[in-house]
Amino acid sequence: MLLKTVISQVELSYVDTNKLTDLEKNKQYCYETLAKVSRSFAMVIKQLPDDAKEAIGVFYLVLRGLDTIEDDPNLSLENKHQLLNEFCDNLGDYNWKLENVGDKPEYVDLMRQFYRVNHVFASLEPEYRAVIAEKCRLMADGMIDYSSKEINTREEFDEYCYYVAGVVGEGLTGIFYSSGYEAFQSNDLSISMGLFLQKTNIIRDYLEDIESDRVFWPREVWSKYAQKLEDFKLLSNETQSIACVNDLITETLRHIPNCITYLETLKNKSVLRFCAIPQLMALGTLVKLYNNPKVFMSVVKLNKIISMQIVAGSDSIQSIKDWYLSFLKDLEKKLTASDPNYSQTLAAIENCKVALK
Ligand code: MG
């Protein structure tokens, strides 16, 4: 009896080792792919403790999978809807993959080997899987909803950004909670964290997006400054184009007080760094975008040295708040009284400063 037990344990551990080998290979694939599909995220994820790192890495790749389908210009609307649904329905399936989907080689590869991500997903704790699966479905539904709908109002802009980024803030907060690193469930503040990052990207990516024929700026805002979205590229429209960017930036600044409160609530230093670094980089980018005609000619990026300084200098909530204040002061210096939203921008900066106190 005893021998039998020993043998079955040996057999079990043999099977487990085999499984682990496959799983380890697939984990390795996930980390390598993370580095390829997002250099900045692969960098900040290093800040996290091991167990949360794995769940969040998988979460990122799942969302990247959805975004790859959403952004593929060669898919018909119908096909896109079908694939977004199929993607969610097969989350965790070791055999599921998609051929020839994605507009960059690294995205095509991710979809072609998605069964590997699914394998790692299936190995996660049930609480993590539940959060990831729920947010994946929510984001897919939002993408389907907005794939055939224009973003007209500021409310719709918020709603679209909620689906593609606010949901990420909620999911990350859910994972921090499940891991025991943080004690609070997702809330409005989690959503603001996602919205701030997403809106910054949407403002920055005007040129890239207009070349792919899909700009996410809300019509309610941009139509004050031009007849057509393409007109923002015209040199003759420069004053209006810059005013529009500044308007969108002002609208994005209103999320900052919530983001500061969210960061203040975090207890775990690694989680704090993971959350704060992208926020500060986005704010730095936003300051660079303000009053900047280059938005319409190239991709405006934050200086690499400043990025490295942010990574090195975001060790405590106080140093993070110092960065916020420093960027806000830089922004204030860039304001011009002739800008149509000058007083609103000034008031938004003031609100951020109050939140920092
Ligand atoms: Mg997308």
Over the stretch 284-324, which tens digit does the pLDDT of each residue have?
999 999 999 999 999 999 999 999 999 999 999 999 999 99
Give catalytic residue positions: 160, 204, 214, 274
Q: What is the pTM of this model?
A: 0.91
Place of tokens 């600044």: 253
Where do runs of H (alpha helix) occur along the chain? 2-37, 39-45, 50-71, 77-89, 105-112, 114-123, 126-147, 154-161, 167-179, 188-204, 206-211, 219-222, 238-253, 256-265, 269-289, 304-312, 317-334, 342-356
Give the C-alpha distances (Å, rounded to integers) separating 193 from 173, 253, 290: 10, 11, 20
Judge residue 30's burial from the number of C-beta atoms within 10 Å of its C-beta, 0-12 exposed, 13-18 middle, 19 or more buried.
Answer: buried
Taking 50 as the threshold, does the pLDDT of residue 7 lie above it?
no
**Among 59-68, 89-98, 161-170, 207-216, whose mean pLDDT is lowest?**
207-216
Mean pLDDT of 23-51: 90
Angstrom distance (rounded) from CA 41 to CA 272: 15
Cα 248 to middle of ligand 1, angstroms: 19
Cα 27 to middle of ligand 1, angstroms: 25
Contact 240, 226 (CB under 8 A): yes
State the pLDDT at residue 339.
98
State the pLDDT at residue 11.
40
Cα 97 to middle of ligand 1, angstroms: 19
Mean pLDDT of 1-25: 53
**Banded model confidence at residue 14, pLDDT cuts 50, 70, 90:** very low
Q: Provide the CB-side half-sphere exposure for 120 (13 A, CA).
A: 23
State the pLDDT at residue 9.
39
State the pLDDT at residue 18.
56
Angstrom distance (rounded) from CA 119 to CA 128: 14
DSSP 72: -
Taking 60 as the threshold, does the pLDDT of residue 16 lie above it?
no
